[in-house]
Amino acid sequence: MEVMSTLILKGLTKHYSASDKALTDVSFTVEPGEVVGLIGPSGAGKSTLIRCINRLTEPTNGQVIFSDKDLVQLSKSNLRQARREIGMIFQEYALIERLTVMENVLSGRLGYVGFWRSFARRYPEQDVQAAYALLDRVGLLEHANKRADALSGGQRQRVGIARALAQQPKLLLIDEPTAALDPRTARQIMRLISEICEEHQLPAIINIHDVELAKQFVQRIVGLQAGEVVFDGKPSELNEDALTKIYGQEDWSASTTDSDEEEEIIAAPFTEALA
Ligand SMILES: Nc1ncnc2c1ncn2[C@@H]1O[C@H](COP(=O)(O)OP(=O)(O)OP(=O)(O)O)[C@@H](O)[C@H]1O
């Protein structure tokens, strides 16, 4: 298997204005296969951090080292190349409603196949086969030909995950993947994401509001408060003091006990789709 890269953030800073310091001097690394849950109150800078990594938002300062390159310094065309290897998964799924599940997954190949070929929907056979394998992995094989708008929220997010994987990413950036889902579906999606990162040794950052869900499915939590990292540790270390640092004074006693055992879900058979 290909050796995956470590993501290194050094002094990442985004000041929208002198008074709007969304991120200040954020530094941490994410190892291959490690899933970091990014938590913090509304406005803490979570989305800004994720967007600064692939420069959907231009950082004011700092470095984003990945695959031996500083993404912040890349020219437009080199950035486009680098972005092909960064999979994004969004809260609102960002699917193309009138296209089928399969076409949505194949749209993950857009950065590779060229505009006219994709416009004519003529993807290489190996891409189509890989997309079937991915749909199998996320448990949607029998829905391949359904329109995206005919799916449930959980199914739509599975398509979003398969589409990101179709890019053959080396890094995953995930923005509130479960915000629109019911608790059980949210857990299934988090489980799927953490399994996939482990299987492919992908480093990943997940912006997530639900602290309990994060604690259950990620190995490490980074807490942001007013644009600065105020916690970086294991879920088990996220005690009342840490929660107070991140969110402010509150009675956290109900949030710091261990969560219930999670229920079993039907896992789709594993198919090695990203050889
Ligand atoms: N395009 C922008 N222009 C100016 N200020 C912005 C812009 N985007 C975000 N901000 C500001 O940056 C700060 C961080 O916002 P950000 O959306 O990153 O926080 P967040 O932690 O993701 O919040 P939420 O959990 O509510 O999504 C906020 O003060 C916000 O108002």
Indicate whether residue 177 lines ligand 1 (CB < 6 A).
no
Residue of 61, 2, 15 lying closest to 227 (CA atoms)? 15
Tokens encoding 75:
């020219």
Percent of the chain with pLDDT strictly greater than 70:
87
φ, ψ for residue 123 (rounded to 5)? Answer: -90, 150
User: Looking at residue 246, what is its pLDDT?
Assistant: 94
Domain 7-104+169-249: which CATH number of 3.40.50.300, 1.10.10.10, 3.30.430.20, 3.40.640.10: 3.40.50.300
Indicate whether residue 16 lines ligand 1 (CB < 6 A).
yes
Judged by DSSP in three states, 4 sits in: coil
Q: Which atom of ligand 1 is nearest to the CA of 51?
A: 18
Ligand 1 pocket, mutate which of 12, 14, 15, 16 (most atoms under 8 A from CB): 16
Report the pLDDT averaged over residues 48-55: 95
Q: If you take atom 25 of ligand 1, which residue's CA is the nearest one? A: 42
User: Looking at residue 1, what is its pLDDT?
Assistant: 58
CB 131 within 8 A of CB 163: no
Q: Higher-confidence residue: 112 or 244?
A: 244
Q: Given pLDDT bands bounded at 50, 70 and 90, which one contains residue 248?
A: confident
User: Looking at residue 270, what is its pLDDT?
Assistant: 35
Quote the strand ranges of the chain, DSSP E: 7-15, 21-30, 35-39, 61-66, 69-70, 86-89, 171-175, 204-207, 220-225, 228-233
Gap from CA of 51 to ligand 1 centroid (Å): 11
Gap from CA of 12 to ligand 1 centroid (Å): 15
Q: Which atom of ligand 1 is nearest to the CA of 49?
A: 18
Indicate whether residue 43 lines ligand 1 (CB < 6 A).
yes
Indicate whether residue 20 lines ligand 1 (CB < 6 A).
yes
Percent of the chain with pLDDT strictly greater than 90:
65
User: Looking at residue 264, what is its pLDDT?
Assistant: 39
| ipTM, two decimals | 0.97
CB 110 within 8 A of CB 118: yes
Q: Which atom of ligand 1 is nearest to the CA of 50?
A: 18
Q: Higher-confidence residue: 117 or 253?
A: 253
| Mean of per-residue pLDDT scores for the chain | 86
Indicate whether residue 223 lines ligand 1 (CB < 6 A).
no
Q: Higher-confidence residue: 131 or 262?
A: 131
Distances (CA, A) of 163 to 11, 95, 138, 183: 31, 9, 11, 23
Q: Which atom of ligand 1 is nearest to the CA of 47?
A: 22
Report the pLDDT averaged over residues 166-177: 93
Q: Higher-confidence residue: 90 or 120?
A: 90
Tokens encoding 164:
């990101």
Could you report the per-residue pLDDT of 97-136, keeping only the tens digit for each?
888 999 999 988 877 776 666 655 677 888 888 999 999 9
pLDDT over 90 (residue 51): yes
Residue of 114, 119, 80 lying closest to 103 (CA atoms)? 119
Instruction: Show the DSSP H helices in 138-178 as ranges.
Output: 153-166
Show the CA angle centred on residue 99, arms to residues 96 and 100, nearest 5°: 120
User: Looking at residue 252, what is its pLDDT?
Assistant: 65
- All structural domains of the chain with their residue ranges: 7-104+169-249
